[in-house]
């Protein structure tokens, strides 16, 4: 299939240096709120790129659960493919593809596990079915059929039918502490606006315009 003529013109906005917040987390908050207002489906969905010790890259989509000046947090199975990659190489890249707004945000940083207490606080907020789901899956491992998952889920429902569902020892959060954050706004004729925030040693941020 030839897709060479399949294209859209980006005309929804521009991005100027004077309009940027000094702090990239505040700028991200601003854009995230605008994504919410635009009713973009799953605005907190982000691609997470990892690279293992052999240099093999991997990419998947997860959900951002909260963010602050301390970093961007998501939760997963600590025995998953992504978790193994992070244990070998903590450098990761996150990307928010807000295509409907002709925007994307790219975050470069290092991932580290959050504390058990922090993971537990979030786990207890999850719906009961999601807590069961954390127990049922040995994420990324091979399984012969979905039926086996369904049988295990029924077994867990019986096991935990009379009380709270505890947090699995193999489940928890990662916090990505950013070193660079890029804000990308599509422009006409592919002349896009791109600004890169880079964290300095004194924890301040510099801002530079990148060529499209």
Question: How many C-beta neighbours within 10 Å does residue 27 have?
Answer: 21
Residues with active-site annotation: 190
Question: How many C-beta neighbours within 10 Å does residue 159 have?
Answer: 12
Instruction: Please count the residues of the chain.
Output: 212
Residue pair 65/48 in contact (Cβ under 8 Å)? The answer is: no
Judged by DSSP in three states, 117 sits in helix
Strands 91-98 and 57-63: unpaired
Q: What is the dihedral of CA 154, 160, 162, 163, to 10 degrees?
A: -150
Distances (CA, A) of 123 to 38, 67, 69, 113: 29, 16, 22, 14
């Amino acid at each position: 299939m030839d897709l060479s003529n399949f294209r859209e013109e980006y005309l929804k906005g521009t991005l100027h240096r004077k309009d940027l917040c000094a702090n990239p987390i505040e700028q991200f908050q601003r854009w995230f709120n605008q994504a919410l207002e635009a009713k973009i489906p799953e605005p907190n969905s982000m691609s997470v790129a990892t690279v293992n010790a052999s240099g093999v890259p991997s990419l998947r989509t997860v959900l951002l659960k909260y963010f602050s000046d301390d970093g961007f947090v998501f939760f997963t199975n600590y025995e998953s493919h992504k978790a193994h990659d992070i244990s070998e190489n903590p450098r990761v890249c996150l990307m928010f593809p807000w295509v409907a707004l002709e925007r994307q945000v790219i975050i470069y940083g290092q991932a580290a596990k959050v504390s058990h207490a922090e993971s537990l606080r979030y786990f207890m907020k999850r719906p009961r079915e999601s807590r069961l789901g954390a127990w049922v899956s040995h994420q990324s491992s091979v399984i012969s059929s979905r039926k086996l998952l369904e049988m295990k889920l029924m077994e867990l429902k019986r096991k935990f039918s009379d009380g709270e569902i505890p947090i699995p020892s193999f489940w928890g959060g990662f916090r990505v502490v950013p070193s660079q954050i890029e804000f990308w706004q599509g422009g006409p004729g592919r002349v896009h606006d791109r600004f890169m925030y880079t964290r300095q040693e004194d924890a301040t941020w510099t801002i530079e315009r990148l060529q499209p």
